Amino acid sequence: MELRFKHEDNNISVEQKMDSWPLCLYKERDPDVRFAMLGEAEKRGLTPELTPVIRTMLEKRYKQGEKPADTYLRFWLTCSLAGNSIHDGEIPDRDMEDIRKMAEDLGFADVIADHRDLLYQEFYQTAILYINLSLTDKRYGSVVFGLGKLSDEKLIRKICEDTYRTGYIVPEIVRFAGYEVWEEALKAACTDFFPQGAEVWDEVHASETPEV
């Protein structure tokens, strides 16, 4: 399967990656490495007008505790589940409330006021992470009862449909804080990741009824 997007090489040290700060932050998947990059940027005095905002965003995204959680990825999954519950163009009230509450808790409205680009980059990174997880999840790429495997073409279509539902249909209904940035970032991630992503996305958008 031909892919366009490449993550950072984890064999390269944090110090070496910092040459492309802050873009290097959004090519990295590992939360610990991302915090290390941020710490290095703070130590070097890089983009001092941005690092406090980035730190707040990362601390809200990666909830620390006995089981650290990626709350942006959880937000994605919550939107995805809501997309599966759509009936007659409507989402259950409880699901809509959950999505809006999560967007509020994650501070999307606070960031978008002055740092729209940072929110876009964080959403984009989340989408790329989800696509990668989908590609490596054997259950996601399997057919009924796991007795076979989806072809590359069908797997890409499934990912694009899921991303479209999560990144366009749901936000258009819920209109949570930052939903327009979410839509832009998820579409860009999907169309950037796969060479045929833009074509498949347009096909799904034209049908307006992706498979659920």
For the entire predicted model, the pTM comes to: 0.89
Residue 63's pLDDT is what?
A: 81
For residue 65, pLDDT beyond 70: no
User: 64: Cβ–Cβ under 8 A, 6 or more apart, which residues?
Assistant: none
Residue 1's pLDDT is what?
A: 52
Mean pLDDT of all residues belonging to the chain: 89
- Residues 154-212: tens digit of each pLDDT: 999 999 999 999 999 999 999 999 999 999 999 999 999 998 889 999 998 888 654 44
Are the CB atoms for 123 and 57 separated by under 8 Å? no
CA-wise closest residue to 185 among 136, 100, 112: 112
User: Higher confidence at residue 12 or residue 56?
Assistant: 56
Mean pLDDT of all residues in 75-80: 96
Residue 19's pLDDT is what?
A: 86
Cis before 171? omega within 30: no
Residue 142's pLDDT is what?
A: 84
- Residues 110-164: tens digit of each pLDDT: 999 999 999 999 999 999 999 999 998 888 888 765 668 888 899 999 999 999 9
CB atoms under 10 Å from CB of 195, counted, come to 13
Residue 107's pLDDT is what?
A: 95
Beta strands in the chain (DSSP E): 62-63, 69-70
Are the CB atoms for 22 and 41 separated by under 8 Å? yes
Burial class (CB in 10 A: 0-12, 13-18, 19+), 207: exposed
User: Higher confidence at residue 60 or residue 139?
Assistant: 60
